[in-house]
Every structure is written in structure tokens, then in C-alpha cells.
Structure 1
Amino acid sequence: MQGDNDVFRTADGRLLSLATFEDKFWRELRTALGTEFPGLDTDAYDRRPARTAAKEKVHHLLTAVFATHDYAWWEHTLTGIGAPWAPVFTAAQQLLDDPHLTARNLFSQASGPAAQARFPVRFGSGLNTFRTPAPELGAHTREVLEAMPAAQVTATSGPRPPARRQSRT
């Protein structure tokens, strides 16, 4: 656990991820929230070594802070400061509907039935298009097994040998 770089639960049960790995991000967070949350209104943890040394205390402090308001409040509040944060999605559709990911064109329909994520980093030209959809689970199993020597196939797909018992002497 890194006390200030973790996932925190909001009052309505949603999760968000916070990363104040740089001192400037911690200072921005405490400056924005310190008046409402007195535990944050101190420069005691402004440096990474201090936050690391007190990581359990910092984590408990942030856990209590994030539990005070619902996700919508935190989204509005955290969007206005520079500390990196993101919602924690629990369903694929939440990813597909996320405005930030949509604006970055992270997902696309390949020629298959499901949306597919592109490589998240852009390198000028290339890697921005989807040529084929991801294979379905098990789509290439037969090809892989046929390419393996028979002994490996048997070892891979055969029944498991009974567990050996250790004798106690």
C-alpha cells in the first residue's frame, strides 16, 4: 500500500483511484481540500518521504476523506485540481461510455461484434487502426495444439496425475 496512491471508496460506494506520487500533486490536493478536511490542512506530508513513512496514517486519512461525499461531488472537485485521479470502472460498458476515453478514440469496432481497445499511446502514424478483431476465447487452441509435439499435447491436455502424498517420518 502506498498511502496516497490507491483506490478509495466514496460515500455512494463508487471507487476512484488517486495518485499523488509527486509532491506537487499532494500539495494541490491538500490546498484544494484542506479547509473542508482539517486532517489535510497541514504541510506535514508535503514531501514523499513523509507520506511514505506515515503511509498507513495517510491512507486512513484519505479513506475517511473520500467517504464523506458521493462520487459526483468528488468528480467535480477533483477535476478542478491537478492531482491524477480516475474512476474505477466495474463494468465494460462504463469504459465504453467514458467521455475521456471516447474523446481519445480509445475504442473502435473492428470487423467483429465487440469494441476493441487500441494501444493507448500514440506514436505519430501507425497503431491507430484496428485491422482485425481480437480472437474469441479458444479460437486458436486447435492450431496451437497441432503445432506441439504429441508428448507436450498429452502433458498439457491429459488428466492430472494423482497428488503424491508426503510420508511423515
Structure 2
Amino acid sequence: MLNTNKKSITLNLKSDRGKEIFKQLASQADAVVEGFRPKVMSRLGLGFEDLQKVNSALVYCSISGFGQDGPYADKPAHDLNYLALGGYFGIPSQVEDKIARPNIRLADITAALFAALSLSVAVVGARQTGQGQHLDVSIHDAVTSLVAPMAIMMQDIWGDDIRKMSHIMPDNDLFETKDGRFFCVGIMENKFWIALRDLLKTDYPDIANPEYDDRLGRMNHKLAVHQLLSSIFVSKTLKEWKNIFEDQYIPCSPVLNHEELLDDPHVKHRDVIRELSDPGAGEKIKQIGFPVKFSGSLDDIRRVPPTKGEHSEEILIGLGYSKEDLKRFKSEKII
């Protein structure tokens, strides 16, 4: 599901010929993106300074765990470690907060988005000035930049008093249902609380407590409001709550599982997930479309992800190598 629209070449970068081919490709490229540990590409003779000699306009993007320098630069880590060291788990997010790991690779994805944005800006700049630059993307920095505003607020204003934390709202949370599923209540504006109260007060009269009728009152009674909502939503199944809220103008939603997501009518309408023919597999495979709709003619999925080295011969012939060269490269394990 990753690497759509790309071509794949394999190269032995420890061989002189492999390095030579890599430099040929870099000489024609707008950007190079690498994800090795710091200094690995430089030791191979393929670092930023090396490639600047063959293409001064090249944008060179290095994505690493902790950046190219600093006390943690050489530490081994993965997504969960970056979240831990980036303070992600140290910021309370719920009234009755418990540490739970994200269900997606949040740190990696965050850094990738920062890298993509930075590459876009840097490539445009290089085309204007003729001068490329080195982008040092740290996954840990990316996480820290997201967490830091809340960390600063806790240090300078809130302390550890959850009652003062304005982002923690008792009516903006996930609540377990009778069948062990979860229902999302996303109340922020007071008009939605009033609508929720009026919808539920006949069966659950405690929700009509006048002290809860404005945001300040609910924030002053965070624990009580949260416990009340927990007791309400655990009294019915997810399907029952979905039916109750189906036609209501209130930001409340069922928490979908993977099957429900893939079958969701809005997801299908927006064409986020598509089935494309894979010539190699001889069957249709699911692919993720780009989640931004362009009004122009951009086709966001032109080809399915390649197999490893699928286009090696095509790319090398495009560089001027012969069939005999390719045979030799294979025998010498360069490709």
C-alpha cells in the first residue's frame, strides 16, 4: 500500500560501480531522501557534500530518529521510543487518563509529513536559486514540536492540576458501551451540550443538572460529568447509540473497527481507498489514495507499488548502460 507511483532500482552502495550509478541518478534528481543512521551515507561517499559536487541544486533530506547531531543521535529507537522521549505520554488527554500507545505509527508519520513539506519548499527554492540544501529531519524533533505547547502550558500555567487543563473536557472523550465497543462524544461548543442534554434528559435526568449547562460549570465538575456520561453510554450498545444519534446535529460518532471503516459510505464516496489491478499479482489490491483532492488533472495513483528492483533494467538503460552491462552488474551483484 506504500510507494505507489514509484519505480524501484536495487543498488549495492558498497561497490564503486553502485556508488557511481547512484551519483548519476542524483545528478538528474531534484531531491535525495535517505533514512540511514547519521553519517552512514557520508561514510559511503554519498553524503550531502559528495552529491553537491555532481548536482549543486540537489535537495538532500536525511530522516533519522534523533537528527544528525546531539546526545541522542546514535541511540537506537523506534516509533514508541520517540513518543516516550518526546513527552507524548506525559501530557494528560482525558479526565481519567491512562497511558495507551497510539494505534498507528504516529511519530514516523509526523516526521514524514514534515519531511514532505520541507522537501516541497526546498525543491521550489532550489529551482529558483540553483542551490540545494541539506534537510535534517529528526523524528524526535517532530514529536517534540507537537507536544511542546502543552508541556510549556503545564510548566508555566497549569502545573499537574487536571482541573486547570483547558484541553481536558469531560464531554469530549471516548465512552465504553454495553457491548464493549466505544462511542465518541466530541462536545466543545455549548450549543452541542444543550442538544445532547435535551436528547438524553428524559431517560437520564441527571444530565439536566443546571450546574452543567455552561462550559465553566462542566469544567468545574469534570470528574462528575465524566462519570455521569460514562454511566449513560455503558447502558446501551454501540448500535443503539448509533441509531439514537443518527439524525442528530451533535458531534457524536461510533468508533469504527477496520471492517466498518473499509465499508463506510463516506470513505467510499471520497475514494480514499481504492481497488487497483496489480499486473504482477494478477488480482486487485487495495491502495490508499492521496487524501487531498486537486481540482486539476493530477492523477494521484498512476501505478501500484513496485516489487524490489522491478525497474532496475529500465532505469539503467535510461542512463545509457547496455544489456551487456546489466548482465555484468547482476553477476557482480551490483544490482
TM range (shorter): 0.5 to 0.7
How many angstroms apart in 1 are the aligned matches of 2:293 and 2:259? 23
The equivalent of 1:65 in structure 2 is: 232
How many angstroms apart in 2 are the aligned matches of 1:96 and 1:37? 34
The equivalent of 1:30 in structure 2 is: 197
**What SS is found at the alignment partner of 2:287?**
strand
Distance 1:116 1:43, change over 3 A: farther
The equivalent of 1:148 in structure 2 is: none
How many angstroms apart in 1 are the aligned matches of 2:270 and 2:217? 36
Residues 122 and 128 in structure 1, CA contact (< 8 A), matched pair in contact too: no
Letter of the 2:201 partner, please give it.
Answer: G
Task: Tell me the CA shift for residue 67 of structure 1.
Answer: 0.8
The equivalent of 1:17 in structure 2 is: 184
The equivalent of 1:167 in structure 2 is: none
Task: Tell me the CA shift for residue 100 of structure 1.
Answer: 3.0
Correspondence for 1:116 among 287, 298, 303 = 287
**Residue ranges of structure 2 left out of the alignment (5+ in a row):** 1-93, 95-168, 279-283, 310-335
**Could you give the per-residue CA deviations for residues 93-120 of structure 1, whole angstroms, max 9, x where no partner exists?**
2210122322333322355564334454
Letter of the 1:115 partner, please give it.
Answer: K
How does the TM-score come out when normalised to structure 1?
A: 0.67
Of residues 4-13 and 104-113 in structure 1, the stretch that sits farther from structure 2 once superposed is 104-113
Letter of the 1:69 partner, please give it.
Answer: K
How many angstroms apart in 2 are the aligned matches of 1:21 and 1:87? 17
Distance 1:107 1:26, change over 3 A: same
The equivalent of 1:93 in structure 2 is: 259
Correspondence for 1:43 among 210, 217, 223 = 210
Residues 171 and 187 in structure 2, CA contact (< 8 A), matched pair in contact too: yes
**What SS is found at the alignment partner of 1:17?**
strand
Distance 1:52 1:78, change over 3 A: same
Letter of the 1:14 partner, please give it.
Answer: R
Residues 110 and 130 in structure 1, CA contact (< 8 A), matched pair in contact too: no
**What SS is found at the alignment partner of 2:256?**
coil
Task: Tell me the CA shift for residue 76 of structure 1.
Answer: 0.9
The equivalent of 2:172 in structure 1 is: 5
How does the TM-score come out when normalised to structure 2?
A: 0.36
How many angstroms apart in 2 are the aligned matches of 1:128 and 1:108? 13
**What SS is found at the alignment partner of 2:301?**
coil
Of residues 24-33 and 34-43 in structure 1, the stretch that sits farther from structure 2 once superposed is 34-43
More helix by share: 2
Of residues 52-61 and 123-132 in structure 1, the stretch that sits farther from structure 2 once superposed is 123-132
Residues 290 and 300 in structure 2, CA contact (< 8 A), matched pair in contact too: no
**Could you give the per-residue CA deviations for residues 40-84 of structure 1, whole angstroms, max 9, x where no partner exists?**
123322222222222211111111000111111101111222111
